[in-house]
Structure 1
């Protein structure tokens, strides 16, 4: 668990999620706008996340899967956003990174904060690259991924991004890139000791 503040000074806690967080994760999914659910899961669904997806997300597999959330205990619903990585079975040095932030909390540095935490968690277990996917119409996600140093390619259907986790020099001097570098420095001692 990490106590920190968002860019606007709001105090938050960043922590891993587990099976006890099932109800909170389901509520966070319900609170997403239909467009945000579509951009994250690529299907038009209702407000209910299925048991199978909840089980898959919440079943921690140390070294292969991690799920962390940003929480604000002062709110009625404390969830702000969550992100996960899944190690590739074909290439154990690569993991898929995904992130979801509640609509009202987007553009507050939540995604960058979560990227930094999972970046360090992944490095600790030997993951060297994150891969992320987004639809071509998700312009804000594309901009954020590039601004945090990810390389992009287009496969004719989706945009594929890769962050090289050992190459901090590749993080650009954009606002998001600077924020990422600062978060990596802030959390490195707590999360990456001896890695």
Structure 2
């Protein structure tokens, strides 16, 4: 578990999620707006996440899969957002990255904090690239991914982003890029050398 502060001074914790967090993960999904659920999961569903999806998200070894959340212990429902990576079966140095932040907590740096945490956790596991996907109409996600240093490619259906985890020189001088660089520097010692990534 990691304790840090958001840019507005809010004390938050970042920690990996496990089977005991099943009900909290389901509640976080329920609290997303229909549009946010669609942009993240690409399906039009109600506010209930299926058992199969929960099983998939909460299972897997730490070498192949990471799922972390940012929590505000001062709130009744503590979850602000969560992010995950899945190592590719075809390329062990690549992993699919995805991130979801509750609607009311967007633009607070939660996503950037989650990207930094998973960046370091995945790097420790030998992953050197993150690949992320978004729909072309999701302009805020596209802007954030570019601003955090991902390179974009359009395949005719979705936008594909790739972060080079081994090359911090590619981080742009945007506000999000600077914030990501600062988070990586803040967390590197603990997550690359410590026990927080397990």
TM-score of Structure 1 vs Structure 2, range by shorter chain: over 0.9
1:169 matched residue in structure 2: 169
Matches within 5 A, 1:44-123: 44-123=44-123
Superposed, which structure 2 residues align to 1:1-195 within 5 Å? 1-193=1-193
What's the TM-score once normalised by structure 1's chain length? 0.98
After TM superposition, give the deviation of residue 134 of structure 1 in Å: 0.2
In structure 2, list runs of 5 or more residues that go unmatched.
none
Deviations, residues 118-153 of structure 1 (Å, cap 9, x unaligned): 000011011000000000000000000000000000
Q: Which runs of 5+ in 1 are unaligned?
A: none
* Number of aligned residues: 194
CA contact (8 A) 1:87 1:94 kept: yes
- Structure 1 moving runs of 4+ over 4 Å: none
Question: Alignment partner of 1:192: what SS?
Answer: helix
CA-CA distance at 1:60 after TM superposition: 3.8
Which deviations, in whole Å up to 9, do the C-alpha atoms of 1:145-169 show, x marking residues without a partner?
0000000000000000000000000
Q: Which whole-Å CA distance do the structure 2 matches of 1:11 and 1:39 have between them? A: 28
Report if aligned partners of 1:18, 1:60 keep a CA contact under 8 Å in 2.
no
Measure the CA separation in 2 of the matches of 1:131 and 1:62: 18
TM-score under structure 2 normalisation?
Answer: 0.97
